[in-house]
Amino acid sequence: MQPDLLNLHALHHFRTRSPLTHCMTNDVVQTFTANVLLALGASPAMVIEAEEAEQFASVADALLINVGTLTASRAQSMRRAIESAVAAGKPWLLDPVAVGALAYRTRFCQQILILKPAAIRGNASEIMALAGMSAGGRGVDTTDTAASALPAAQALARQTNAIVAVTGEVDYVTDGQRIQAIHGGDPMMTRVVGTGCALSAVAAASCSLPGDRLDNIAAACGWMKRAGILAAAQSRGPGSFATAFVDALWNLGEQA
């Protein structure tokens, strides 16, 4: 990856603006998500009770909706937060974890799709399921390559007017017309829980940056890919990889 592909311009914006990012995410990845956002200079906040989520979503710069450990009461809070964010003109991003594989969350995600997400980030199975083109994978892992889901991603982007990122060995970001492919990363990223979920949080925060939204989300993908490469070079397994990954995000751009 060339230094310019790292999009240091967007990274500078991200760090100086420090987007206040309202994360409604799953129970498994909350700490890692917060630490990834902090390492990149953002301000994470997890606020979940319906009344509070509604209040906070209008104040925060961006909202992340991740359905990984969805419950009925969380779904209700998410809906109120989304409506509040939209009313306040704040972007929200949907991470449809395991949609297609599980009926309850699939129905929920289909319902909230009409609430105009600014962006959607998922793996191939999830994006295909959300676009109505597949029955989905067996869980959070995907059995399809991101490239195979690109037509579904484009269709979903056109249907929802959202930027859609379908991620995997190569990440693709599309608005339905344009496509950016982001290479890099390391297989070890799939052996640490939460790298995909944390990318969604960073992409959500990036939606609040000035400039072209597709470029900003592609930049977010690039930062994570780059950190993956740097961390893999310094680790002996997924434990030290996770630590080095957060360090790499913190130091991103220093030696490009």
Secondary structure class of 93 (helix, strand, coil): strand
When the beta carbons of 115 and 140 are compared against its own copies, the nearer one is 140
When the beta carbons of 4 and 89 are compared against its own copies, the nearer one is 89
- Candidates 52-60, 83-91, 198-206, 215-223: pick the segment binding its own copies (CB under 8 A): 52-60
Site for its own copies in 119-178 (CB under 8 A): 138-141
- Please say whether the beta carbons of 166 and 149 come within 8 A: yes
Characterise 24 by phi-psi region: left (phi > 0), alpha (psi -120 to 50), beta (else): beta
**Closest CA relative to residue 47, chosen from 59, 36, 35:** 59
- Determine the Cα–Cα distance for residues 97 and 53; give it in Å rounded to an integer: 20
Q: Does 197 bind its own copies (CB under 8 A)?
A: no
- Candidates 149-157, 165-173, 177-185, 240-248: pick the segment binding its own copies (CB under 8 A): 240-248
Confirm whether residue 128 is marked as ligand binding: no
Binds its own copies by CB under 8 A, chosen from 1, 5, 8, 45: 45
Please name the helix (run of DSSP H) or strand (run of DSSP E) that holds residue 171, with its range, or none. Answer: strand 171-174
When the beta carbons of 182 and 248 are compared against its own copies, the nearer one is 248
Please name the helix (run of DSSP H) or strand (run of DSSP E) that holds residue 19, with its range, or none. Answer: none
Confirm whether residue 21 is marked as ligand binding: no
- Determine the Cα–Cα distance for residues 56 and 46; give it in Å rounded to an integer: 10
Confirm whether residue 188 is marked as ligand binding: no
When the beta carbons of 153 and 231 are compared against its own copies, the nearer one is 231
Binds its own copies by CB under 8 A, chosen from 12, 31, 87, 233: 31
- Candidates 149-157, 170-178, 192-200, 210-218: pick the segment binding its own copies (CB under 8 A): 192-200
- Determine the Cα–Cα distance for residues 212 and 155; give it in Å rounded to an integer: 20
Binds its own copies by CB under 8 A, chosen from 30, 123, 200, 208: 30
Confirm whether residue 139 is marked as ligand binding: no
When the beta carbons of 111 and 251 are compared against its own copies, the nearer one is 251
Please enumerate, by residue number, every residue annotated as part of a binding site for substrate: 46, 194
Please enumerate, by residue number, every residue annotated as part of a binding site: 46, 121, 167, 194
